[in-house]
């Protein structure tokens, strides 16, 4: 968990935001559209340096709304595109993020979470955007959101975010926070060619036969970039397979259900969970992101005290691992859920358990992270 991968490469001592930028370029990202906002600004600054050196393009837009629009547009034009922001900026991006979902534009959105609401605590961490990531955009749509805890996996999860975006033709969110974004930690960048890169699947039909949302061969329509002779019609309205708007109820519902199937029927390729001392645990701890780092320490300390605690740490937070949580509650007797907010993901945990199992919440706001001692106290309380 969080350990170095033996790639024979050199260890880099990078802040998490720099890890994201370096990994994005390694994944093939060649467009970044952004607007600076603490605590994510280093991602944009580093991409502004890296992309021109690697044949890519960086653009700073006038605001977060335009930045998200540029990312969707660049994706439709054939680029692997990314933006980065924090809570207030994500709020502004949500309209165009919804546009990205409905037109099925592959892209990556990094949210370096900070305290809120509103302007909140610009230089302090939080994990209070996890529900915004899932439900912030109006309407029915699936979401993929990744929540790494350690820099080595942050590198690989950034690459995985691009791979998932390309494979399933949709925006993918990478949720970290100020702690991970600004903490410096050793990383061994894997050698090029040692990891999987998924690129866009292009339709090979002639231009006169191209249909933008042809799903005759599956739920994920093949792609053609703009400006290469193929006709597109792109709209934020519900549309049929031609891309033109429709209000035919059965067609709209069928298309929205297809969007969901792209995720629900591929959970084996999307879900990712790390387990720590969980095989024989009586007390289960469910935690993610930077808080899981503290939870890991607390679980170790509990074991030293003779308490059989174990950690479930989702790297894919959305779709929520409800089946895995449910199965784990056949083993553990009680659950502890620490999260750096006033209680959000705990409701998903409660909804997923199979009984009235006791669940201890450990929640916190104010910009000071949850310490291992606070989680250990919660474990001791329920043990």
Q: What mean pLDDT comes out for the span 312-338?
A: 97
Query: Roughly what angle, to the nearest 10 degrees, separates helices 87-103 and 64-76?
Result: 30
Q: What is the pLDDT of residues 90-102, one digit of tens each?
A: 999 999 999 999 9
Q: Is 242 left (phi over 0), alpha (psi -120 to 50) or beta?
A: alpha
What pLDDT score does 6 carry? Answer: 42
Confidence of residue 3 (pLDDT cuts 50, 70, 90): very low
Is the pLDDT reported for residue 7 higher than 80? no
What pLDDT score does 135 carry? Answer: 96
279: which residues sit within 8 A by CB, 6+ positions away? 310
Q: How many residues does the chain have?
A: 383
Q: What is the pLDDT of residues 252-285, one digit of tens each?
A: 999 999 999 999 999 999 999 999 999 999 999 9
Share the mean pLDDT of the chain: 95
Q: What mean pLDDT comes out for the span 355-371?
A: 95
Q: pTM (2 decimals)?
A: 0.95
Chain-centre distance for alpha carbon 381: 32
What is the spatial distance between Cα 200 and Cα 203, in angstroms, rounded to a whole number? 10
What is the spatial distance between Cα 31 and Cα 70, in angstroms, rounded to a whole number? 9
Q: What is the pLDDT of residues 234-245, one digit of tens each?
A: 999 999 999 999
What pLDDT score does 292 carry? Answer: 98
Is the pLDDT reported for residue 220 higher than 80? yes
Count CB neighbours of 266 within 10 A: 17
Three-class SS of residue 84?
A: strand
Three-class SS of residue 185?
A: strand
Is the pLDDT reported for residue 195 higher than 50? yes
What pLDDT score does 164 carry? Answer: 98
Is the pLDDT reported for residue 198 higher than 50? yes
By CB atoms closer than 10 A (0-12, 13-18, 19+), residue 305 is exposed
Computed on alpha carbons and rounded to an integer, the radius of gyration of the chain in Å comes to 21
What is the spatial distance between Cα 315 and Cα 272, in angstroms, rounded to a whole number? 5
In order of their start, the domains of the chain are 12-187 (3.40.50.970), 274-382 (3.40.50.920)
What pLDDT score does 4 carry? Answer: 39
What pLDDT score does 132 carry? Answer: 97
């Amino acid at each position: 968990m969080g350990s170095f991968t033996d790639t024979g490469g050199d260890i880099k001592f990078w802040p998490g935001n720099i890890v994201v930028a370096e990994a994005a370029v390694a994944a093939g990202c060649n467009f970044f559209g952004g607007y600076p906002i603490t605590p994510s600004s280093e991602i944009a600054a580093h991409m502004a340096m890296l992309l021109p050196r690697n044949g890519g393009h960086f653009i700073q837009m006038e605001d977060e709304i335009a930045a998200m629009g540029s990312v969707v547009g660049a994706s439709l034009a054939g680029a692997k595109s990314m933006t980065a922001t924090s809570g207030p900026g994500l709020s502004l991006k949500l309209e165009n993020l919804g546009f990205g979902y409905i037109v099925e534009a592959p892209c990556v959105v990094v949210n370096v979470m900070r305290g809120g609401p509103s302007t909140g605590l610009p230089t302090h961490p939080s994990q209070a955007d996890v529900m915004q990531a899932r439900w912030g955009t109006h309407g029915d749509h699936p979401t993929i959101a990744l929540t790494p805890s350690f820099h080595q996996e942050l590198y690989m999860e950034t690459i995985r975010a691009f791979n998932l975006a390309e494979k399933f033709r949709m925006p993918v969110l990478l949720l970290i926070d100020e702690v991970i974004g600004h903490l410096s930690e050793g990383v061994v960048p894997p050698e090029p060619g040692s990891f999987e890169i998924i690129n866009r699947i292009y339709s090979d039909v002639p231009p006169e036969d191209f249909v933008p949302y042809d799903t005759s061969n599956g739920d994920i329509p093949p792609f053609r970039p703009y400006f290469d002779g193929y006709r597109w019609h792109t709209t934020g309205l519900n549309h049929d397979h031609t891309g033109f708007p429709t209000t035919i109820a059965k067609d709209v519902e069928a298309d929205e259900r297809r969007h969901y199937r792209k995720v629900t029927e591929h959970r084996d390729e999307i879900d990712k969970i790390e387990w720590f001392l969980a095989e024989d645990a009586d007390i289960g701890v469910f935690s993610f992101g930077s808080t899981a780092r503290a939870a890991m320490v607390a679980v170790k300390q509990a074991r030293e005290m003779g308490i059989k605690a174990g950690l479930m740490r989702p790297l894919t937070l959305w779709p929520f691992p409800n089946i895995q949580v449910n199965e784990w509650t056949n083993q553990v007797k009680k659950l502890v859920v620490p999260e750096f907010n006033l209680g959000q993901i705990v409701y998903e945990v409660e909804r997923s358990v199979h009984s009235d199992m006791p669940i201890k919440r450990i929640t916190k706001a104010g910009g000071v992270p949850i310490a291992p001692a606070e989680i250990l106290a919660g474990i001791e309380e329920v043990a």
